[in-house]
């Protein structure tokens, strides 16, 4: 089985390759713009057939030069929610994905791609329906545009390029993913990652204060382990008959305070966790652009037959802290 992983040196891409390797799959084309510095660490110990830069892969894919490909896991994107260059992010996240989808459909290659919970903005309902979708930034808008493009193609007339029974296409609206191999992401890394390093430097963790009607640290997100994200992607690889757009979170909103307590308890087990949390003023730059609450509705995922059991914050973050301690100097 020949596979492709785009964004291969990134956070989710590298974890996907690890998960595929665990299944005995290593005939993998790894695609990325960069595998230097901190990102290079993500590929250590992983097995893949070849590494190709994005500028070479996409034109060759469009020409069908790779032969029979079973599936593409499309994780490559600009994931910066603060990116202000709309043309840039649309080219990276929409134009590139659209062209890849069309190439996959021409060649009979399945596409499993990363969407984002950012498409929901400040919605209080998180089912995969247009009525709930109102992104707050260009990143979320770019992901939603591609989801809309897919929806249009899936509902197109039988004589379209997709016909009425297209090769599998599945999009995953990732909620707040955390876990190994995110060290290169800088400010876009998970709150658990940043709090680990705050504890090592200062012996305390920081959270935003009151905002959006929530008490300090009580803004709530659906925090999902990258291990669970990989498991669901692999489930879809095993189920080529399932297409559509699916939330990929735990179905459980938990407070940022819960993350901080899990971090503090893991690193300072004899201290009262709440005594190690400092609250800072909410940044003005994020006002009106911040999701104070997210919780994946898993109804569509469950109806598709995926019954994967997700870790809660306490379990997943504690395991992640153990991994980080093995990596840190």
Positions marked catalytic? 139, 185
Strand locations in 81-228 (E)? 110-116, 169-174, 176-178, 205-208, 220-221, 223-225
Question: 241, 230, 148, 133: which is closest to 181 by C-alpha?
Answer: 230
> Quick check: 290 and 136 in contact, CB under 8 A?
yes
The DSSP line for 151-186 is HHHHTS-TTSTT-SSPSPEEEEEE-EEE-SS-GGGG
Question: 49, 111, 66, 97: which is closest to 237 by C-alpha?
Answer: 111
Q: How many CB atoms lie within 10 A of CB 63?
A: 9
Q: What are phi and psi of 209, to 5 degrees?
A: -75, -160
């Amino acid at each position: 089985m020949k596979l492709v992983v785009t964004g291969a040196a990134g956070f989710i891409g590298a974890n996907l390759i690890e998960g595929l390797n665990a299944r005995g799959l290593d005939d993998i084309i790894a695609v990325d713009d960069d595998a230097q510095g901190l990102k290079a660490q993500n590929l250590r110990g992983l097995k893949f057939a070849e590494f190709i830069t994005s500028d070479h892969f996409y034109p060759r894919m469009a020409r069908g030069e790779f032969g029979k490909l079973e599936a593409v896991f499309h994780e490559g994107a600009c994931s910066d929610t603060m990116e202000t260059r709309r043309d840039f992010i649309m080219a990276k996240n929409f134009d590139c994905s659209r062209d890849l989808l069309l190439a996959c459909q021409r060649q009979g290659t399945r596409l499993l791609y990363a969407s984002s919970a950012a498409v929901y903005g400040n919605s209080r309902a998180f089912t995969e329906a247009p009525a709930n979708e109102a992104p707050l930034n260009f990143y979320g808008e770019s992901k939603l545009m591609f989801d809309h493009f897919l929806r249009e193609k899936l509902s197109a007339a039988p004589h379209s390029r997709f016909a009425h029974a297209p090769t599998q296409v599945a999009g995953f609206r990732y909620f707040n993913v955390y876990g190994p191999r995110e060290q290169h992401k800088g400010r876009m890394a998970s709150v658990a990652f940043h709090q680990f390093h705050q504890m090592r430097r200062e012996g305390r963790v920081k959270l935003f204060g009151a905002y959006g009607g929530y008490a300090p640290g009580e803004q709530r997100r659906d925090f999902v382990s990258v291990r669970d994200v990989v498991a669901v992607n692999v489930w879809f690889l095993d189920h080529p008959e399932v297409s559509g757009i699916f939330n990929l979170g735990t179905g459980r909103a938990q407070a940022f305070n819960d993350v901080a307590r899990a971090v503090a308890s893991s690193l300072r087990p004899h201290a009262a966790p709440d005594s190690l949390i400092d609250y800072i003023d909410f940044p003005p730059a994020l006002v009106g652009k911040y999701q104070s609450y997210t919780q994946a509705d898993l109804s569509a995922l469950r109806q598709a037959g995926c019954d994967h059991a997700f870790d809660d914050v306490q379990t997943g973050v504690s395991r992640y802290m153990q991994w980080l301690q093995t990596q840190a100097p």
